[in-house]
Structure 1
Amino acid sequence: MQVKAFLESTITEAISPSYLEVVDESFMHNVPEGAQSHFKVTVVSDTFEGKRLIARHREINALAAEALEGPVHALALHTYTQEEWIKRGGEPLSSPNCLGGSKLDN
């Protein structure tokens, strides 16, 4: 399963976002090559209007449940209404560098 494609299609079908970016950030972490384990998802959708941040994240986590049961270890979510997205300049946030912490080396 290509996790990026799964997340893109599942989120798009469910909430028709005006902006969606799914980034596989696994390469930034101490995981085997091709792990598909760490993703950043930026979503802009009118469906978030009036919803608190936790409700937005729960909605996306529910859509991503299949991937979260399998290869995905970390899912960074950035969820915005159209107005919030415009106010912040319409640019996705950069991810910090991984600070390590893998049991793979033991």
Structure 2
Amino acid sequence: MSGTVTDEMHDLLTGAFAPTRLAIINDSAKHHGHMGDDGSGESHFTIEIEAAAFASMNRLARQRAVIAALGDIVGQRVHAVAIKAGVPAE
């Protein structure tokens, strides 16, 4: 896949959950020089996502679903992801 890791995550999450709101925030600059900073500028992210698909899931299940949708990105190409997953109007 070409493009940035942010673009790839956006495409994967949109395809998996059809979110009503999706924000992928690159926090890598805050972690420059820390463990997990590979110098790529794409090592740490916050994902804020709202989707009806999360309605029947608890907080942990939502986070696991997001990580699963991202495949090998987390842990292989991205060091850390903070996830805020909810349903619309929650």
Give TM-score, length-normalised by structure 1: 0.73
Partner of 1:71: 77
Q: Does 1:5 align with 2:11?
A: no
Partner of 1:37: 43
Partner Cα separation in structure 2 for residue 32 and residue 71 of structure 1: 9
Partner of 2:24: 22
Amino acid paired to 2:49: V
Amino acid paired to 2:45: F
Identity of aligned residues (%): 24
Map residues 80-91 of structure 1 onto 2, 5 A cutoff: 80-84=86-90
Q: Which runs of 4+ in 1 moved over 3 A?
A: none
In structure 1, list runs of 5 or more residues that go unmatched.
85-106
Amino acid paired to 1:13: G
Asked if the contact 1:38/1:72 (under 8 Å) is kept, the reply is yes
Residue 65 (structure 2) aligned to one of 59, 62, 71: 59
- By how many angstroms is 1:64 displaced? 1.4
C-alpha RMSD of the superposition = 1.4
Change (3 A) 1:70 1:32: closer
Partner Cα separation in structure 2 for residue 32 and residue 12 of structure 1: 27
How many pairs does the alignment contain? Answer: 84
1:34-68: per-residue Cα shift (whole Å, max 9, x none)?
A: 33110000000000112100110000000112211
- By how many angstroms is 1:32 displaced? 4.9
SS of match in other structure, 1:82? coil
SS of match in other structure, 1:59? helix
Larger mean CA deviation between 19-28 and 60-69 belongs to: 60-69
1:1-21: per-residue Cα shift (whole Å, max 9, x none)?
A: 521011100000111000000
